[in-house]
Structure 1
Amino acid sequence: MEKRTIKKSIAQTAYNIGFGGKKHFLTYDIYRVFPRLISILTTIIGVFQLSIWYESINNDKGKDFFSISIIAIGIIGLVLDLISDNKEKYNLAGRELLDYFNELRDMYNLIDNDVSDEILQSTEQRRKEIVIEAKHISISNQAILTHWLTNISFFKSMQSQWIVKELDLKFKDKYPFLHFETIIFILIFILVVKFLLCF
């Protein structure tokens, strides 16, 4: 294989594996933080329901909305807590995937300095092995919104400039704001705001 082709393959593999590693870390963070955050929110809303301002609301629908919100948030927290029993496996998988990402980056830099046939062949062989190993490590069941958040996290917090340059990634490739999860999130936000304005 030619140097240019191998470099592109390494960059594509590193993008997929690095993105996957970040996605695992975000799922781990969501399962670790969100149940606690939801518990805090339900407590705050519960205290709010005891407040004088809440008691002064004459609109029974407004009171019902707050009660329903507490129940809904509590159920979400319960479900997340149940799902997050094995959250540590996401952290471990993320670490291993990011180790592969770093190895791929080193391989990419090595090819820049040495273009002997032996190095090119061994690098391509190792890249194929990494792809197979990463498939066995990866966990397909990820938390919602991780794809959207991973795009932001991957290109902002990781050393991914070499991938952007090699794959010629544009803004729309790096930040796909029209992704399915984003559209769903926006629709839910609009519905909640519209519901609140009805009171």
Structure 2
Amino acid sequence: MTKLGWGILSVFLLIVAAFAATTRFGTADRTRGGDRPVAEPPVGEEGQAGTLAIPVRGVTEAALQDSWNDARGGGTRGHHGTDIMAAGGTPVTAAAPGRVEKLFESSLGGTTLYVRSPDRRWIYYYAHLAGYAPGVHEGQTVRTGDPLGFVGDSGDAGPGHYHLHFGVQRMQPGERWWEGQDVNPYPLLAGKPASR
């Protein structure tokens, strides 16, 4: 290759490197089959840091740990939620007001429940439940603190590994309960910045 050829190739590589440095590429959400970029935590909205109630009765902010994007599935995917450890059967309550959008059984989440916020811009996801609270049904309006279910080990949690997997998704108009962009729930629950 001539000096001119090397010069053109060098300029081209510099342009590509500059473009890559200024472009933000999201990580894929493969926790529920989506290929959506992971959204940043909302600022100055309903989902502002510390605005959600801890959805497991008796658990304090000090007990929460930021497990966002920890390896799951043997390293094949990142964790898109906050695992809240508690004894099996501990009541799970609504972290925010909304409407129960879906009760669902899945291989990963086990017994799950999705609540959509009143403005329809957020989904709150509760997974690995042992069961639903009496009377809970799709379409039900809930307030913060209302009973939803019980901490369990269903789905891929593993027998005896009792915890609530709590997730938050930012929703666009017309998106269904599984189509939102995942947001790290830890700062929304703990009132502190994410540790990663």
**TM-score bracket for the superposition, by shorter chain length:** under 0.3
> With CA pairs under 8 Å and 6+ residues apart, which has the higher RCO, 1 or 2?
1
More strand per residue: 1 or 2?
A: 2
Normalised to the residue count of structure 1, the TM-score between the two structures is: 0.21
Task: Mark the structure with the bigger radius of gyration.
Answer: 1
